[in-house]
Amino acid sequence: MDHEQRTDGRTTDMRERIVDVATERFAAKGFAATSLQDIADRLGVTKAALYYHFRRKDDLIAEVLAPMVVDVEDWFRRVEERHPPPREALESYFEVVQRHGAVLAAIARDPAALEAGDTAVHVARWGQRVQTVLAGADATLEERVCTTVAIVGLARTVSLFPDAEVDELRRIAVDAALRALRV
């Protein structure tokens, strides 16, 4: 096993506290702009202490990204298995993006962080995979381009309209994406 685990709910586990603080700082300032020194200071430990729990900064970043990666992989699995109608697929996609808004905002700020740890292995396949899932494995150039416009545009609306009412935004954005898809 990895580390101590309290039987009560308290999170005294250092690793957990590091990930919590890191998540908050990364979302607020981006990955590159947040130093391990900053994270260590806020935890009242030395920078070197972080290196006991994480071999490299990249590993810490990878752990912060993990829940988002799991959620996206989950979305793929569901859509690949159940083949929902396009509207339903895009709506649940919108919700995944919405759920991880903070982390995705940090990624938008410096996408180089996606190469952290083994996160890159997953993310590298997403582009191709979303094409396959929405347009089929043998899609034409036109179908793939339309899918790109729909998916990329849809994802961006989440970060660009943070003050909009969520249900309304989802409806409008998904409608626009569906028209781009021409279905």
Partner DNA sequence: GTCTATAGACCGATAGAC
Partner DNA sequence: GTCTATCGGTCTATAGAC
Binding residues for DNA, rule: CB under 7 A, are: 3-4, 14, 34-38, 44-49, 51-53, 55-58
User: Whole-number minimum distance, CB 168 to its own copies, in Å?
Assistant: 7
**135 binds its own copies, rule: CB under 8 A:** no
Identify each DSSP E strand in 62-169 by its residue range.
Answer: none
Per the CB < 8 A criterion, the answer to whether 159 and 99 are in contact is no
* 3 state SS of 4: coil
Region of 7-15, 70-78, 105-113, 116-124 interacting with its own copies (CB under 8 A): 105-113
User: Whole-number minimum distance, CB 177 to its own copies, in Å?
Assistant: 6
Per the CB < 8 A criterion, the answer to whether 113 and 31 are in contact is yes
Cα angle, residue 86 at apex, residues 83 and 87 outer, rounded to 5°: 125
* 70: partner contacted, choices its own copies, DNA, none (Cβ within 5-8 A by kind): none
Region of 65-73, 75-83, 94-102, 107-115 interacting with its own copies (CB under 8 A): 107-115
